[in-house]
Amino acid sequence: ELWDDISEAASGQKPIQLTAETMCRNISILKASKFRSAMAIASVAKFRHIEHEFPWTPALQSQWDKSQKAVNRGLGPAAHASPFPLGEASKLIDSRDPLSPAGPLHPGRTIKIGCWWLLREVELGNCCLRDVTEEQDNSVSILLPASKADVMALGESRGHGCACENRTDGPALMPTRMCPACLLKAQLKIVREEFPGLGQDAPLFPSSSGKFPTKAGVINTISALAGQLGKKEKTHS
């Protein structure tokens, strides 16, 4: 659709058959617009061209090679994010106060739960009490309304059992301050005590006002906590 929109804006048409000229023009526009996926977008147009049994000529292949070199020139590395060091998270200070405006209360506990449940910043910000289920076997699960593993948005549930001295089915594997189930249960207890009037619709990781934290607030909180562990916010790349 993006390829066709570019074609239509440039020439008033959406041709399926490619020419060296249209390929050069559209890829140049994508590159100028800072699309890192310029060639991936162009490849969809290429496959469509071939599926309609149009010939892939030497001229098209030559232009394709030139475009690929042009797009990759000066592109630099992708902006990958490093994983949060959960193994070092026991060193975090367990304070109540947020580390960022509109960020969550109890930030240390929040990031530990977020790591154990593999929550993105949006999921951390949108979870509420009704999404949490305490099972009879002492485990706890969080229901994510929609996730990458659930393209139909029926709900993806992730659970953890107790792994500290509070477990009844074996020896302690970690201290209570790092136990996923106990951390989540403690978070539930605190939210219910501090914001009793919100009921099950209360945010699981509320801000100081009792509202859902903002995306920026959660991101800045994660960065601040990583800084407490001596991690740099950005690397040379």
Length of the chain: 237
Instruction: Give me the sheet containing 132-134, strands edge to edge.
Output: 132-134, 140-144, 156-160
Alpha-carbon distance 124 to 114, whole Å? 7
**In the numeric block, which tokens belong to residue 189?**
């207890």
Q: Could you give the 3-state DSSP secondary structure of residue 143?
A: strand
| Cβ neighbourhood burial of 223 (10 Å; 0-12, 13-18, 19+) | middle
What is the 3-state composition of the chain as percent helix, strand, coil, each rounded to the nearest 5?
50, 5, 45
Q: For residue 147, what pLDDT is reported?
A: 55
At residue 128, the 3 state secondary structure works out as strand
Residue 188 has pLDDT above 60, yes or no: yes
Q: Which residues contact 103 (CB under 8 A, 6 or more apart)?
A: 207, 213, 214, 217, 218, 220, 221
Q: Which two tokens stand for residue 87?
A: 């193994």
Alpha helices in 137-214 (DSSP H): 180-194
Amino acid at 110: T
Reported as a single tens digit per residue, the pLDDT across 21-54 is 999 999 999 999 989 899 999 999 999 999 999 9
What is the pTM for the complete model shown? 0.67
The 10s digit of each residue's pLDDT in 146-178 is 555 555 556 678 899 999 999 888 899 999 999
